[in-house]
Amino acid sequence: MSPRRQEQGKNRSGSVLNLRSTGSPGSVRRSAVLPSLLTFLVIVASGGLLFMIEKGMLNSMDTPAPRGSRRLEPIRQAGEHGGVDVDSQILQEIRNRTIRAMCSQRNMPHSIWSLSPLQRKTLFQHVLVNDKYRFLYCYVPKVACSNWKRVLKVLGGALESVDVSIKMDHHSDLLFLSSLKPEEIRYRLMYYFKFMFVREPMERLLSAYRNKFGEIKSYQKKYGVEIIKRYRKGRAKDPSVTGDDVTFGEFVRYLLDEDVERMNEHWMPMYNLCQPCAISYDFIGSYEHLERDAEHVLQSIKAPPFVHFPDRQTWYKPVTRQTLHYYLCTLPQKLLRELLPKYILDFSLFAYPLPNTTTEHCRH
């Protein structure tokens, strides 16, 4: 076994998840979310779930019985005695309870077949299939999905190594759930290992903004021009608009007018892309602890020892906490208050605290 596979770094705030049960009847619609559910979401996303667990406030909430997803062994840390990182297991339990409680609500989907056709189409187009190692991976753009696709191509024999220097083709040599028949989909959902990776919602959004509008001409032309003409005063009919100078505030205004179910995948909420209430994911890793969580997945699918998760490219510019703080604090408070509800399921289900952008906080 490779040294990379054997080593699991210590961390005081692990963010991995073994899901054992989700789902309940109903179909998801933004308009169908009850006020009481929104209240619960805000409590969860504000970091209040741990308090609720400690006080036993969730003990009386009904959660559905397990739906058959396998139970994984706890993640082992490379500590002095090889024990389990307690903080990591606590966060796993927080996310487990959160998702079970949230997904048991009446208006949440209980299976992929209770999703609307558009929701199901989006989901199936983001779930990649590997039949050799029997797993399903729901990819989320801006959450290391290009590197995971490299891993899938190596496991499928299309690439010799994850370190081969090539421009990533996001569709060739990959099998999507959307290519399979209903009975084939049912079988794989029942018997395959299922995983996804998540990222702090506003950090992911900022990463998409900086990448697509700062570097990608096709996005500047397709989305940037429209955004500037729509939201910048006096430019509605300006033929000289190139779309390469979209401000973050203009981008946010554009998002506020967009239906989440029809957004571009790079800024569509993670919930809508992967539907964690409709699919019982066996594991949800996080971008914040990418290498450790990725190695856990490779162990779980019994990948060959020579297959490792790729290192980040040298040219990659990460979104730092300071950078995110700066961008969010430049937004008018009204815009941010209107934006957060669009991503509230991402914050709450995956246990990310809502950003603090009070006037006092933004001064520092």
Question: pLDDT (tens digit, 9 = 90+) per residue, 321-333?
Answer: 999 999 999 999 9
Contact 193, 301 (CB under 8 A): yes
Report the pLDDT value the prediction gives residue 22, as an integer from 0 to 100. 40
Q: For residues 339 and 1, what is the distance between their CA atoms, to the nearest angstrom?
A: 46
Q: Pick the more confident residue, 69 or 344.
A: 344
Q: For residues 270 and 267, what is the distance between their CA atoms, to the nearest angstrom?
A: 8
3-class secondary-structure state, position 254? helix
For the whole prediction, is pTM greater than 0.85? no
Give the chain's radius of gyration (CA, Å): 21
Report the pLDDT value the prediction gives residue 65, as an integer from 0 to 100. 36
- The two tokens of residue 29 are 């619609």
In percent, the amount of the chain with pLDDT more than 90 equals: 58
| Domain extents in the chain | 3-201+274-300, 202-265+319-362
Roughly what angle, to the nearest 10 degrees, separates helices 86-103 and 35-43?
A: 170
- The two tokens of residue 52 are 């609720």
- Pick the closest to residue 110 from 196, 28, 194 (CA basis): 28
pLDDT in tens, 226-282: 999 999 999 999 999 999 999 999 999 999 999 999 999 999 999 999 999 999 999
Q: For residues 95 and 17, what is the distance between their CA atoms, to the nearest angstrom?
A: 7
To 5 degrees, how large is the angle CA 195–CA 200–CA 202? Answer: 135
Q: Pick the more confident residue, 48 or 250.
A: 250
User: What band does 93 get if pLDDT is binned at 50, 70 and 90?
Assistant: confident
Q: For residues 203 and 220, what is the distance between their CA atoms, to the nearest angstrom?
A: 20
Mean pLDDT (whole number) for 281-298: 91
Q: For residue 230, how many other CB atoms are within 10 A of its CB?
A: 13
Contact 176, 124 (CB under 8 A): yes
By the 10 Å C-beta count (0-12 exposed, 13-18 middle, 19+ buried), 324 is classed as: middle
Longest dimension (CA), the chain: 67
Q: Pick the more confident residue, 318 or 122.
A: 122
- Pick the closest to residue 156 from 126, 131, 179 (CA basis): 131
Q: Does the pLDDT at position 117 exceed 60?
A: yes
Contact 196, 282 (CB under 8 A): no
Q: Does the pLDDT at position 313 exceed 70?
A: no
The amino acid present at 232, given as its one-letter code, is: R
Report the pLDDT value the prediction gives residue 225, as an integer from 0 to 100. 96
Mean pLDDT (whole number) for 170-192: 94
The mean of the pLDDT values for the chain is 80
Task: Output the DSSP codes for 142-170.
Answer: TSSHHHHHHHHHHHTTS-S-TT---PPPS
User: What band does 63 get if pLDDT is binned at 50, 70 and 90?
Assistant: very low
User: What band does 314 get if pLDDT is binned at 50, 70 and 90?
Assistant: low
- Pick the closest to residue 350 from 94, 122, 119, 38 (CA basis): 94
